[in-house]
């Protein structure tokens, strides 16, 4: 997976656990696709400070996913529901699968 895509996904799920400053810098880097230099100029800090903050935040986010595995669990749940849909479902079973898919999509923002 592309590093920026992964960083964005991790931030969506676990970004609230970062400091406001870390979250801001990571969002600028991952979602606004700004370079470290552009962020540094915008924030009035050094490029190295931005790089360090983004790297630290990225490592924290990866540790959270390693420990909690929420992104991986969601992907597995979606796979299982898709596989279940391929079988012959009763109307009741289909409504349960649809409800579960709706719950999963509502939680796409993570914690």
- Residues whose CB falls within 8 Å of the CB of residue 34, separated by 6 or more in sequence, listed in order: 28, 42
Kindly report the backbone phi and psi dihedral angles of residue 15, in degrees, each rounded to the nearest multiple of 5, phi listed first: -60, -30
Tell me, yes or no, if the pTM score tops 0.95. no
User: Is residue 109 scored above 90 in pLDDT?
Assistant: no
Q: Could you give all domains of the chain from N- to C-terminal order, each with its CATH number? A: 3-68 (1.10.10.10), 70-109 (no CATH)
Model confidence over 53-91: pLDDT tens digits?
999 999 999 999 999 999 999 999 999 998 998 888 899
Q: What is the pLDDT of residue 104?
A: 86
Q: What is the pLDDT of residue 106?
A: 74
Q: How far is Cα 60 from Cα 39, in angstroms, rounded to an integer?
A: 20
Question: DSSP H helical segments within 69-111, as ranges?
Answer: 70-85, 91-106
């Amino acid at each position: 997976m592309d590093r920026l895509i992964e960083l964005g996904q991790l931030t969506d799920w676990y970004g609230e656990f970062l400091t406001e400053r870390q979250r801001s810098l990571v969002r600028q880097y991952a979602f606004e696709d700004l370079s470290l230099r552009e962020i540094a100029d915008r924030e009035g800090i050094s490029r190295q400070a931005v790089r360090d903050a983004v790297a630290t935040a990225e490592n924290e986010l990866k540790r959270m996913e390693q420990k909690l595995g929420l992104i991986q669990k969601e992907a597995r749940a979606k796979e299982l529901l898709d596989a279940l849909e391929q079988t012959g479902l009763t109307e009741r079973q289909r409504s349960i699968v649809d409800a579960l898919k709706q719950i999963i999509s509502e939680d796409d923002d993570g914690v």
